[in-house]
Amino acid sequence: MVKKLLHTRYRVSDLEKTLRFYKDVLGLLETERMTSGRGSELVFLKAPESEELIEICKFDGSGPVQVGADLTHLAFEVEDLQAFALHSARLGYPLSDGPHVSADGSIIAFVDAPEGYEVELIQKAKGAA
């Protein structure tokens, strides 16, 4: 049996553009950069208050990256969704959906990362766990 989730991998074509998005727009921290035994360029990122990592992989040998619509996304908690939306839009990444208020009062929105991956942003309702 598995013990814990370590990381999730997303493969991309433009590594540096993608890293600028995850670092500058989302504020993720780079924890490691390496080349795998098969030649993949790998960069590991994490959110400041999370243990799990995101692995961004560039491996041209796998062919073009094709991200299907509504196939996968990462979800991050934000303190202030409105402030995030302004920051993100200033950097060229406006919200692609939302904001919407959920049944528990949380506010949810989405922004599209380079390569077409969707990122969900959640501002938890006051008092929500």
**Is 1 inside a domain boundary?**
no
The average confidence (pLDDT) of the chain is 93
Q: Which pLDDT does position 8 carry in this prediction?
A: 94
Confirm if 67 and 117 have CB atoms less than 8 A apart. yes
| Percent of the chain's residues with pLDDT above 70 | 98
- 79 lies in some domain: yes
Residue 77 domain flag: yes
- Structure confidence at residue 128 (pLDDT): 64
- Is residue 87 assigned to a domain? yes
Q: Does a structural domain hold residue 22?
A: yes
Q: Could you tell me if residue 15 is inside a domain? A: yes
Catalytic positions, written as ranges: 120
Domain assignment of residue 104, yes or no: yes
Structure tokens at 61: 């040998």
CA distance 89 to 102: 23
Q: At 77, which CATH number?
A: 3.10.180.10
Structurally, the chain folds into a number of domains equal to: 1
Domain limits at 108? 7-59+71-123
In 3D, which of 23, 88, 82 has the Cα closest to residue 56? 23
pLDDT of 89-113, one tens digit each? 999 999 999 999 999 999 999 999 9
Alpha-carbon gap, residue 103 to 93, rounded angstroms: 27
